[in-house]
Amino acid sequence: MQIKKVVVICLFVQLLFNCQEKEIYNVEVQIIPKPSKHIVNKGHFVLSSSSGLNYPEELKVSAEFFKSFIEQGKAIRLGKGNDINFIVDTTIDNDEGYNLEISPNNIKIKAKTDHGAFYAVQTLRQLLQPEFENGSFKTEQANISCMSITDAPQFVYRGMHLDVGRHMFSVDFIKKYIDALAMLKMNTFHWHLTEDQGWRIEIKKYPKLQEISAFRYETLVGHYGDQPHQFDGEKYGGYYTQDQIKDIVAYAESRFVTVIPEIELPGHAQAAIAAYPELGCTGEQVNVAKKWGVFEDIYCSKNETFEFLEDVLDEVLELFPSKYIHIGGDEAPKTHWKNCKSCQQRIKDEGLKDEHELQSYFISRIEKYLNSKGRQIIGWDEILEGGLAPNATVMSWRGFDGAIEAAKQKHNVILTPGSYCYFDHYQSENGDEPLAIGGFLPLEKVYNFNPIPEELTAEEGKYVLGAQGNVWTEYMPNSKHVEYMIFPRILALSEVVWSNSEEKNYKEFVSRVENFNKRLDVLDINYANHLYEIEGELITKENQIVYQMTTTSKGKDIRFTTDGLEPTVNSKIYEKPVPITESINLKARVFDSEKELGKIFSQDINMHKAVGATITINNEPNKAYQGSGPEGLINGISGSDTRYGDKEWLGFWGDDIEITIDLKEVKHINSIETRFHNGQGQWIYAPREIEIAFGDDGFKTHKISAYDNLIVNFKSTFEGGKTKKIRFRIPNYGTILEGKQGAGQKSWTFIDEIIIN
């Protein structure tokens, strides 16, 4: 009997030990981006002032970064010795790869280059307590779990962009931004320095760029879509001196981040033309733009303009040693070119077909100049229009088509599609989110982004260098707002471009984000926390319509109500999908141990006559804006009033739409209503008309005079109408007119719930 007790106690202790080991594993190996391979071993290394640091000259930058990181607090000082050993290992294939070995006796960092060793240090810092980040760690020793990590990036280009033309940020914040990139193993900072609303780089040969182009008289208040436009009446601007830029570039180099400057041309040049009107086609005086958008004042193609740009680029090249210079190339209206004698003469002299080929000539000429200086250009995907410059790298932002076309032409491409990589979009459907340009880009969508388009072969896919997150700052007036829009989406993107894409698990990633937030707290980074939000979906299950809810956070309860009251700790716990038999307002919230987490989720469900019907659409919605698929148009749930990219809106690019709804039985129809998004700043136009037919009857055209004579909110009554089948035709608005954002491009159509009563 006594022996049995001993055995039971031993088994219990072993079980307890195993549980504790498993818990330690889950907590401590929460690295972002996730390493290629890692194995956790027993034991831990004790980091203290008795720990010695050893490194060769080749790995000096990374080793001294680690030493400074540890010693920014007063608790631990590293001496000399082999406890922490940086080792050059030429057998490692990838220049940015590394091996990290942590045993009870020592830590070994092996890398082929200082760059790879630096990334090993970024991993090691995440194995330490968050308080090391700001020097507030006060204990004289820290335990680091023993493990073996082998790691290397998936893509060579891992970037983040920042627009300082619309709003400008301090040198200290730019360095903080670069620090965040380095911590997440991102290696490129794309610095958008010139815009219609402000020129931010000192060019000594042209002092008016600092005196005039760097400042606007006032700034738009509210959203661009708000009418009428209002302004704050306050002068705004500034620029970075060449000394400041040199300091920032050197700072980035010390963290293995390459800074790529963007000097916009031929469009987005109104600020420069405000200082030097002769650079434009009309020669007329213009002001630095005070609102957002696309403007017709672009660089003229005369020789004087190229002399100016070459002079500017000469000074830029002295400041930025990067292989690439970004030249923009996007959103250049051709209105003035069409009426400009110089530009028309240029088209004739160069044997060009039209103004699009003139843009290609413009960019190719700048590329040839930069190539002569040993540099390469990157441009937005509009540089494909009229023919791609010979050695250009394409940054594909209008979707995947530009990347596919460029890769098939054997040009390098960087993916930054707006639907996955534009961090100026809303990241939550909560109504109290700070003002943004529009759209909807939640964390999960960024995490599931694949930078290699399916349409490319394996060989063509090799031209995809990587991906980049873009931060356009029209609606980000300060650095805290920028941080809020970037974090945590940058965490997901860092994993997209670094980690193995075949091992994705969003819920596991969310657990690591939850842990990483503690580090962001210590770093004083203002991140958005939507981890405790609820996702809902109306589905048909066993011929019954039910509402299903999920949350990505583990070990939490969802409590809900269906009477419009706020859920409390005493509300019903969600255990299975909720049956829906009538229109209701459902509210829910995540709870953890009797405490509420996150914000209240509220969903109005409208049980109209089309819910549960069958729907078909002649064209697939664009893959970037598929919402919940065609069924999402008749699921009883309307989309967001501001986030046209959420899961309820469907987006179609340039397509006429034909929709058929089969009600399965003849029903009386009293009214039909729907709505279309009209965000012309984002190339989205409501239709001019909508056609409706009952059964096999002929179509009847419905027009409603609304905003700009477009149908935004549609509702029509049908007295005595009855049918089993309803058909809709919705013609696309067509090509965007000159003078508008996206001029010459196909317009988008976005449609929301079709409500039939």
% of the chain beyond a pLDDT of 90: 77
The structural domains of the chain, with segments of one domain joined by +, span 25-151, 157-522, 535-605, 614-756
Cα–Cα dist 171/174, whole Å: 5
Retrieve residue 610's tokens. Answer: 């089309």
pLDDT for 577 equals 93
Q: How confident is the model at residue 596 (pLDDT cuts 50, 70, 90)?
A: confident
Residue type, 69: F
pLDDT for 595 equals 83
- With CA atoms as reference, report the closest residue to 683 among 709, 645, 728: 645
* 202 vs 600, residue with greater confidence: 202
Q: Are 495 and 446 in contact (CB under 8 A)?
A: no
Q: What mean pLDDT is predicted for residues 222-231?
A: 89
Report helix, strand or coil for 57.
helix
CATH of domain 157-522: 3.20.20.80
Q: Which CATH superfamily is domain 25-151 in?
A: Chitobiase/beta-hexosaminidase domain 2-like (3.30.379.10)
Q: How confident is the model at residue 414 (pLDDT cuts 50, 70, 90)?
A: very high
Cα–Cα dist 16/36, whole Å: 30
Whether the predicted pLDDT of 332 surpasses 50: yes
Whether the predicted pLDDT of 438 surpasses 70: yes
- With CA atoms as reference, report the closest residue to 756 among 668, 628, 651: 668
pLDDT for 268 equals 96
pLDDT for 9 equals 39
pLDDT for 642 equals 72
Report helix, strand or coil for 97.
coil
- With CA atoms as reference, report the closest residue to 201 among 140, 156, 256, 249: 249
Of the listed ranges 171-175, 212-216, 587-591, the one predicted with least confidence: 587-591
Rounded to 5 degrees, φ, ψ at 697 are -65, 165
- With CA atoms as reference, report the closest residue to 590 among 633, 546, 558: 558
Q: How confident is the model at residue 3 (pLDDT cuts 50, 70, 90)?
A: very low
Report helix, strand or coil for 444.
helix
CA angle 501, 257, 183 (to 5 degrees): 60
Q: Are 506 and 443 in contact (CB under 8 A)?
A: no
Q: How confident is the model at residue 17 (pLDDT cuts 50, 70, 90)?
A: very low
Spatial neighbors of 9 by CB under 8 A, at least 6 apart, are none
* 620 vs 541, residue with greater confidence: 620
Q: How confident is the model at residue 704 (pLDDT cuts 50, 70, 90)?
A: low
* 25-151 and 157-522 agree in CATH topology: no
Q: What mean pLDDT is predicted for residues 49-58?
A: 96
Q: Are 44 and 143 in contact (CB under 8 A)?
A: yes
Whether the predicted pLDDT of 15 surpasses 60: no
Question: What pLDDT, in 10s, does the model give residues 110-143?
Answer: 999 999 999 999 999 999 999 999 999 999 999 9
Q: What mean pLDDT is predicted for residues 88-106?
A: 97
Number of neighbours of residue 579 by Cβ within 10 angstroms: 11
Whether the predicted pLDDT of 189 surpasses 70: yes
pTM of the shown model: 0.86
Whether the predicted pLDDT of 11 surpasses 60: no
Whether the predicted pLDDT of 22 surpasses 80: no
What Rg do the C-alpha atoms of the chain give, in angstroms?
A: 29
Whether the predicted pLDDT of 383 surpasses 50: yes
Tokens 């049980």 appear where? 607
Angle between the 303-319 and 355-372 helix axes, to the nearest 10 degrees?
Answer: 40
Retrieve residue 662's tokens. Answer: 């089969």
Of the listed ranges 13-22, 457-466, 709-718, the one predicted with least confidence: 13-22
Q: Are 391 and 409 in contact (CB under 8 A)?
A: no
Q: 451 to each of 328, 348, 382, 400, 447, how far by Cα in Å?
A: 21, 40, 19, 9, 11
- The DSSP code sequence of 478-497 is SHHHHHHHHTTHHHHHHHHH
> Measured in Å, how far apart are the chain's first and last C-alpha atoms?
76
Rounded to 5 degrees, φ, ψ at 514 are -60, -40
* 641 vs 19, residue with greater confidence: 641
Question: What pLDDT, in 10s, does the model give residues 713-734?
Answer: 899 888 878 899 999 999 999 9
Helix (H) or strand (E) holding 700: strand 700-702
Question: What pLDDT, in 10s, does the model give residues 286-303?
Answer: 999 999 989 999 999 999
Whether the predicted pLDDT of 426 surpasses 70: yes
Q: How confident is the model at residue 97 (pLDDT cuts 50, 70, 90)?
A: very high
Q: How confident is the model at residue 511 (pLDDT cuts 50, 70, 90)?
A: very high
Q: What mean pLDDT is predicted for residues 338-362?
A: 95
Select 614-756's CATH number: 2.60.120.260, 2.60.120.620, 3.40.50.12780, 2.40.110.10: 2.60.120.260
pLDDT for 307 equals 98
Whether the predicted pLDDT of 673 surpasses 60: yes
Whether the predicted pLDDT of 21 surpasses 50: no
Cα–Cα dist 116/264, whole Å: 33
Retrieve residue 631's tokens. Answer: 């069924």
Mean pLDDT of the chain: 91
